[in-house]
Structure 1
Amino acid sequence: MDAAPDDEQPGCILLDVRIPGLSGPDLQSRLIESGSTLPIIFLTGHADTPTTVRAIKAGAEDFLTKPISSEQLIDAIERALARQHAARAQRGRLESFRGHLATLTQRERQVFDLIVRGRINKQIAHELGTTERTVKAHRHQVMEKMQVHSLAELVSIAERLGMLDTNGR
């Protein structure tokens, strides 16, 4: 394998467990190491539980045992493509959020961090050594630049970007 497959185009990889010279699960490992996020469907006439478990734990989309109908195969491919589309859309949203976050000034970023942790304007002003009025202005800029209309949306973005721990802090 010279290069990782192109993940920017819709697609999936159909692998047999037994491939001359390299097993399907070994190729799956190499693809993952190369950074591929294309969904992988295994198709085999020689299913065994350890191989199936290994492939699924490593992220295989499906594990089909021959013989299967063309409808079953097409259904598995359609599910893989749908999941790939959803994952790409999610990655796109996260990239967009990161882009918006990068437009914040240092002070706006401080205000953002405190807002999403539940601090009110008065607390933020005290913590940053400024006035509530200034905090309100920064808060307004944060909402504009992040392209949100509510605190809930802002907190949701912070959670999606992994900026809050499990307790919302």
Structure 2
Amino acid sequence: MPEPRFHAVIADDHAIVRAGLRTALETPGMVETDGIAVVDEAADGLQAISAVRQHRPHLLLLDVQMPHAGGLEVLLEARRWSPDTKIVILTGVMSVGKISELVSSGVDGLFSKGEDNTELYRQLPNILRGRRHIAASLVAMLEDAPDAPDLTARERQTLNLIVAGQSNKEIAETLGISAKTVDRHRTSLMQKLDVHSVAQLIAYALREGLIDPAGGL
């Protein structure tokens, strides 16, 4: 049997998902004629980064929500250590904010975990050869969505720390700014997101995927 042309790393915190993806990739003819060799699996974000550094795979199949490091953080590190790796994200998060953020990150492929893998397996050969593909259902979601609020980088940092439970004083110390400036960022966030309490602010941010629930700047 010919040696597979492509090699992959699968990163997902659910073993049953990794097993299903491995079987599909390695079975000749299901995705590639000679199959795709899975050289490593990762159950969390740090393992995923380590696997990409070690193997420099042609393909990284990446769950967007994993322990220790989220999908976007893994994506950035993977790009740094292995810029030629094609990164395909599988997401169960269906908020417009998060989907938009993932598309803007320059990911090579983006697919919903809520659908079967037919589109994923059909498009992977094209992605491996340099094309980009966003699942049709996700494209439709973005086209139908209203414009997302335009938050500055500092407002996003402030929002992340508010969700983490920090007070204005603590946020000021973390970011190296004054408490008055933090209060201005908080007020601006509530106006842009059209909410009227911190509880509503947190709920909106989590629902729309504006921050990473795992925390961190």
Please report the TM-score for the alignment, with normalisation by the length of structure 2.
0.33
Q: Which has the larger radius of gyration?
A: 1
TM-score by length of 1: 0.42
